Structure 1
Amino acid sequence: MNTKTTILKKALYIIIPLVLIAIVVIKLKNNKEITQSKVYQYDKEQAINVQADTLQIENVNAEFYYSGTFEPNKETKISAEIQGKINVVLVDVGSVVNKGQSLVQLDNSLLKLQMQTIEVQIEGLEADVNRYTILAKADAIQGIQLEKSELGLKSAKVQRATLLEQINKTTIKAPFNGVVTAKLSEEGAFAAPGVPLLQITDITNLKFTVNVPENELSQFKLNQKYSLSADAYSEILLPGKTTMIGSKANIGSSFPVQFTVNNTSDLKIKSGMFGKVILKTADQEKGIIISASAIVGTANQPQVYLIKNGKSVLQNITISKKIQNKAIASNGLNEGDVIVTNGFINLFDGANVTVK
């Protein structure tokens, strides 16, 4: 009996682990099958939706655009040079002002009273000088008394000039022609040096800045004229002259190019508007122009996907020139070819495709 029990126990020690291992294996297999059933299995035979373009031979001297922003030629925040209460603000936002025009009047009543006091002192000192001059000529007084009166008169006149300058500074004037673009204070407020009261913007002349990739920077020369337009008034062409070509690249590895532009007579172009500088290639040729977004591959070996018989075909091409978002293909493409321009996700050479 003990022998049978011992054998049975040994058998159980072997069978139970084997059963547990079998259960674990079955469970793992079932989990794997469930996981695989949930994982997306890409069907390479399934047609991929793409956008395409049929190529045509076009004039290579087409127009290209660089987008940018118009900025004011001059803009400043005006503050008082002396302290004082604001009696009146003579302009409002949108007011067109001329250089030297009065904009803000500060309280100057105390300064004017001081001026009256100085005028009285000067009047008395002038009388003393005249009287002492006569007496000094007659040797009735010492010459030092005349000298003191003359020095006192000069000092009083300096004080008068100082007060006159302070009174003049209570009238704040426009430093240049422009438009009031911000009113930062009101009547009754207190003005102090460095505290802005108004903002004046000159938009009779504008600056226009675009960012140009380094391989296209050679298209711009200093002091050359180009045509510009504002997006809001695309029908109006404005002549602009290149005044600055950046010497340091920005974060996007492009260089700023700045133009000066004369605004329209009615100042239609506003600061902050978006616009374009129009660039025409000088070559009078015909060629195939494709969108830069259609190009795949590398910079050394650009490629595009052709669509032939419902399938994508990876085609090597040669790019002779890139201008902004366009490229001129000199080899590898023919008129009538259909190329993929969008929908590259999961696209590969030989994939079935459908054009949206």
Structure 2
Amino acid sequence: MNTRKSIVNPLMLVCACLLGVGSSQAEESAKVTVTVKPLSMLLAYPERSAPATVVSLNHSQISAELAARIEQIYVRVGDRVKKGAKLVRLDCRDQKLALDAARSRFRLAQKELDRAVTLRQSSNIAEQNYAQAETEMEQAKIVRQQQQVLVGRCLITAPFQGVVTARIAATGGLAAPGTPLVELLDIEHL
């Protein structure tokens, strides 16, 4: 048994030495050189492309709301316009004359109603005649307001801020309701 110990002990010592020598070599070979770089240099952003179409929320063909000759077009293609800017002015002499006539009819109806009120207070007018004078005055008022609206449509303004992309009509041409005169693109709301 002693002989066994005498053989085993030196063998263990030799194994331990070999392991120790091997581990120092493994430590030396395990040393790695490290280089340090900022993260921004290491990040790579892959480029990707995707075809797309940008569409505006407002892209309108501005047209006349009444039939009239075009007197003036205030804009050209590429012009930037603000909301309410003048685009086109129409010849509205007919509409202005109709407005003057409506105002005259309204004044006459108002006088007739005033006279009917005076007569009614003294009980010298039939209720039917008074009601008729009142109705004629209301109708004349409505016709006057309609003519004011038509005259207001003689000047066509930009409904929103944008860029003129097309000028379809020409000065001297005839504008008809629904016929496009100018095309406007809103570049703020894409």
TM-score bracket for the superposition, by shorter chain length: 0.7 to 0.9
Secondary structure at the aligned position of 1:203 is classed as coil
Partner of residue 184 from structure 2, selected from 158, 181, 200: 200
Q: Which protein has the bigger helix share? A: 2
Q: Are 2:102 and 2:147, in contact at CA under 8 Å, matched by a contact in 1? A: no
Which string of whole-angstrom CA distances, capped at 9 and with x for unpartnered residues, describes residues 306-325 of structure 1? xxxxxxxxxxxxxxxxxxxx
State the match for 2:128 in structure 1.
Answer: 144
Secondary structure at the aligned position of 1:199 is classed as strand
Q: Between the two structures, name the one with larger relative contact order (CA 8 Å, sep ≥ 6).
A: 2
| Long gaps (5+) in structure 1 | 1-57, 207-356
Partner of residue 63 from structure 1, selected from 46, 56, 69: 46
Q: Are 1:94 and 1:179, in contact at CA under 8 Å, matched by a contact in 2? A: yes
Moved over 6 A (4+): none
Match of 2:70, as an amino acid?
I
1:147-186 aligned at under 5 Å gives the runs: 147-186=131-170
1:75-114 aligned at under 5 Å gives the runs: 75-114=59-98
Secondary structure at the aligned position of 1:167 is classed as helix
Q: Percent identity?
A: 29
Q: In 2 relative to 1, CA 89–140 (structure 1 residues): closer, same or farther, beyond 3 Å?
A: same
CA RMSD in angstroms comes to 1.9
Larger Rg: 2
Q: Are 1:72 and 1:203, in contact at CA under 8 Å, matched by a contact in 2? A: no
Q: Which protein has the bigger strand share? A: 1
| Long gaps (5+) in structure 2 | 1-40
What's the TM-score, normalizing by structure 1?
0.40
Which string of whole-angstrom CA distances, capped at 9 and with x for unpartnered residues, describes residues 248-270 of structure 1? xxxxxxxxxxxxxxxxxxxxxxx
State the match for 1:305 in structure 2.
Answer: none
Q: Are 1:178 and 1:202, in contact at CA under 8 Å, matched by a contact in 2? A: yes
Offset of 1:69 from its aligned partner? 4.5
CA distance in 2, matches of 1:201, 1:72: 10
CA distance in 2, matches of 1:76, 1:90: 17
Offset of 1:104 from its aligned partner? 0.6
Offset of 1:190 from its aligned partner? 0.7
Secondary structure at the aligned position of 1:78 is classed as strand
Q: Are 2:89 and 2:155, in contact at CA under 8 Å, matched by a contact in 1? A: yes
Offset of 1:165 from its aligned partner? 1.3
